[in-house]
Amino acid sequence: MVDHSHSSGDEAPPTRSTRGPTRMKQLLMRKYSDERTPVNVNVITGVATGRYADDFRSYLGVVARDKINILIPSFDHVSKVDRNIIWNDILLTFDIPNVTTLRNKCLSTIAENFRNFKSKLTSRYIYGHLKHKTPCSVYKSIDEDTWRLFKESRMSEEWQVSIVDIIQFLINKYISYELIN
């Protein structure tokens, strides 16, 4: 005989645990003990290799997510002072050359990660399957007020029009490409 005493028809099915955001705990422990993590990075291409290459790439994503306010329209609007703070944070965390070409490559990667993070928030938490939830409990850098303002900005008519313009541009570009080839 099957025992049904543990479940009733009124209970919701158990939720699956999902991957949360990368926290980089080991890396941060080394950083706070004044130990810089060695990474081999090509200063021209910005490509990291070696044992801690994945940590380096992941950290650039963490920086984009945690150090830049999502209310900033784009990375172009991040001040020079904040860019220097971000770069110095990377230099304190990793033993890499302090050269302009590498700085520019890292900041470019962070800009791309920032754009992708904001797109992910929009597609999942505003228009997607998580639209009835808030990312505030998942991402410590987002508080309720910031989330409310971000959500309002992404639902504004101005932002909607800009998305339609981008989609139309991409459609026209694709059609032009197809006609040429």
Residue spans per domain, the chain: 25-180
Contact present, 64 and 110 (Cβ < 8 Å): yes
Tell me: the pLDDT tens digits for 47-81? 999 999 999 999 999 999 999 999 999 999 999 99
pLDDT in tens, 82-122: 999 999 999 999 999 999 999 999 999 999 999 999 999 99
Could you report how far apart the first and last alpha carbons of the chain are, in Å?
A: 68
Alpha helices by DSSP H, listed for the chain, are 25-32, 53-66, 80-93, 100-121, 144-155, 157-180
Check residues 163 and 138 and name the one with the higher pLDDT.
138
CA–CA gap between residue 159 and residue 133 (Å, rounded) = 21
